[in-house]
Amino acid sequence: MLKAPPRRRERGDSAERKGESRPLVFSLRRLSALCVSAVKRSQATTLFLLALLPLAAGSGSLAQEASPLKARYTKHEYQIAMRDGVKLFTSVYVPKDSSQKYPILMLRTPYSVAPYGPDDYRDSLGPSPMLMDEGFIFVYQDVRGRNMSEGDFAWMRPHKLKKSSPAESDETTDTWDTIEWLIKNIPNNNGRVGMWGISYPGHYAAQALIDPHPALKAVSPQAPMDDNWLGDDMHHNGALFLPHAFNFLSGFGRPRKGPAHQTRTQFDHGTVDGYKFFLEMGPLANANLKYFKGEIKLWNEWMEHGDYDEYWQGQRVSQHLKNVTPAVMTVGGWFDAEDVQGPLSIYRAIEKNNPKAWNVLVEGPWCHGCWSRRDGASLGIVKFGSETSAFYREKIEFPFFMHFLKDKGEMKLPEAYVFETGSNVWKTYESWPPKGVESKSLYLHANGKLSFDPPKGSVSAYDEYVSDPNKPAPFQRGVAIGMTYEYMTEDQRFSASRPDVLVYQGDVLAEDVTVAGELVADLYASTSGTDSDFIVKLIDIFPDSSTDPMDGYQMLVRGEPMRAKYRKSWSKPEPMKPNEVTRISFAMPDINHTFKKGHRIMIHVQSSWFPLVDRNPQKFLNIYQAKDEDFQKATQRIYRSAKFPTHLKISVLKP
């Protein structure tokens, strides 16, 4: 909610992500070359690139060559003691011009603040070069238990609402104690602190909002992880995003022996073909038997917590956002393969529980963190008509920090600054979802038809397919070892031709249809097994035109899996009764997309999406302990009658 901003606001945090700074031992030139090479080989191991791309972006690269920053900034390194005595390694870059006071912009990260050493400088500071040139005190901190900081690391360390003693700590107290020390000990600071971060650092920025230090004036969680079981990163509605989790933890999850620069090496899959590798790996239990050997503590934890139990529930940040005092600008990407849900959840929680907070949402047509390091003009071959990332950095991010940390410029940001894909225009709204939307449903009909009109057919009307977990439907057309950024907008014609994918297509649109907000899939399904996954995909079909490179392109707009055993409860799974019609309803992340006049709307329904989503044996059991013999074929039926009207509920913006 937008309120009149107080006179003084502060903010800070750096744009980094889940693989953010890997051991900073490469030059910028080498990092860039590695990233380009990986893309050319289609080895978009997302989490490995997470470790590299932000560096090449300039928000955390570790060039060993002479840095131009040395002419303008002085670097200091500190071990800052927390209330329990644990010391956190912190790098501070202070402007050499001491004629004025500066606000502090801080980023906390599990990926390393390298390069280490007072004479080794980063290539760039802050969320963007504009802010670096403007002049701030930039702070980077290794979080507890990572790299050069002391203590033990915990994945998305849960907030402790009630502390057992004044010395008990969590991420909120570590942030508070750090700010307190910085304000008192760093010369020439103006008493205002800001935070920012992309992906995992964005999660830490959101954590800082739970119990914010009075000096914390502005926070920008960017692609923040909110809940790693329900929709961010590693799990979506109970389904494990296999290559994402495996590839990330194979490097990040390696144990350390005390404070040290944690180098991260890419796992050697022995192939560039992720479909082949993960299928041959077999059941999830084989990850430890064949590769990890029980050495990856986090992998072991995740395999022990298959359901949405206390382990995952405690990590959810949004449940604690009830005392937000800094100005907040949450940033996300409509095509973020990792954290598309987190920004929406964080924004909504602040809006709901803090009616007086200065709280805005920014969503662009971006992949994970791409607003900080790319021009944002395209993703794959889908073009957005302008350099959306440059626009964001100059017109949205820079004014936000300048206003709340330096009292410079007017604050004219709307409640929601969102890019409308399809029409390729920026839109501003007084709320998100926007007012003036009409709830409609896209219904499945016979012969692969899709319509806004509900079906009137026989009670038993259905379409069926055989799902074979040993021959799962691929999630992308090309060969890649990991979760690519481009799959989020990929041409779905490769999938539409498979016999285990149901395809429904609407008529040619006579006028534009803009869908803004959350999607809800409402399926009536049956299976010959006792559990199944159901993946629903919403697709924009471009017109056939031999002169257009998008000729007949079937653009994925949103896709999401649902593990059916969690249809009633995320924490208490239930089997499906074989061949019995079962209602399975689940939410899909928001979109803001215009299906243009002359296009068609399409929906796919399928039961595998491999290797993006781990295979469901189609038998009710603990999938993380499944054996080869547990995986079985199943006949799936999707019903489309008046009594069982399978549909996708959407919010259509009124003209």
Mean pLDDT by 10 residues, the chain (655 residues): 37 36 35 42 42 40 60 97 98 97 98 96 96 97 98 96 94 98 98 98 98 98 97 95 97 92 89 98 98 97 97 97 98 97 98 97 98 96 97 98 96 96 98 96 98 89 98 96 96 96 98 98 98 98 88 97 98 98 98 98 98 98 98 98 97 93
Q: What confidence score (pLDDT) does residue 233 get?
A: 92
Q: Which residues pair with 327 in a beta bridge?
A: 218
Residue partners of 310: CB distance under 8 A and separation at least 6: none
Identify the sign of the CA torsion 338, 341, 343, 345: negative
Q: What confidence score (pLDDT) does residue 66 get?
A: 55
Whose tokens are 């031992």? That residue is: 25
Residue 300: Cβ-neighbour burial (10 angstroms; 0-12, 13-18, 19+): middle
Domain ranges of the chain: 28-429, 437-653
Q: What confidence score (pLDDT) does residue 37 get?
A: 42
Whose tokens are 């849960």? That residue is: 158
Q: What confidence score (pLDDT) does residue 1 get?
A: 52
Rounded to 10 degrees, the C-alpha dihedral 30/32/34/38 comes to -170
Question: SS3 for 186?
Answer: coil
Q: What confidence score (pLDDT) does residue 67 get?
A: 65
Q: Which residues pair with 147 in a beta bridge?
A: none
How far is it, in rounded angstroms, from Cα 54 to Cα 198? 9
Residue partners of 468: CB distance under 8 A and separation at least 6: 500, 633
Identify the sign of the CA torsion 624, 625, 628, 634: negative
How far is it, in rounded angstroms, from Cα 445 to Cα 455? 6
CB hemisphere CA count around 494 (13 angstroms): 12
Assigned CATH topology for domain 28-429 = Rossmann fold (3.40.50)
% helix, strand, coil for the chain, step of 5: 25, 25, 50
Report angle CA 561, 645, 576 to the nearest 5 degrees: 50
Whose tokens are 């949402």? That residue is: 361
How far is it, in rounded angstroms, from Cα 75 to Cα 119? 7
The first and second tokens of residue 172, run together, are 């909120």
pTM: 0.90
Number of neighbours of residue 460 by Cβ within 10 angstroms? 11
How far is it, in rounded angstroms, from Cα 84 to Cα 310? 25
The first and second tokens of residue 439, run together, are 């709830």
Question: SS3 for 303?
Answer: helix
Q: CATH for 437-653, among 2.60.120.260, 2.102.10.10, 1.10.287.110, 3.30.230.10?
A: 2.60.120.260
Question: SS3 for 513?
Answer: strand
Question: SS3 for 182?
Answer: helix
Beta-sheet pairing, 416-420 with 425-429: antiparallel
How far is it, in rounded angstroms, from Cα 601 to Cα 565? 29
Whose tokens are 């969320």? That residue is: 127
How far is it, in rounded angstroms, from Cα 21 to Cα 148? 13
Report angle CA 10, 15, 20 to the nearest 5 degrees: 140
**Crossing angle between the packed helical segments 171-185 and 200-207, to the nearest 10 degrees:** 80
Of 409, 654, 429, 636, nearest to 531 (Cα)? 636
Q: Which residues pair with 585 in a beta bridge?
A: 522
The first and second tokens of residue 611, run together, are 């290797």
Q: Which residues pair with 517 in a beta bridge?
A: 591
How far is it, in rounded angstroms, from Cα 501 to Cα 237? 20
448 DSSP assignment: G
R_g (Cα) of the chain, nearest Å: 24
Strands (E), 159-303: 189-198, 216-222, 235-236, 239-240
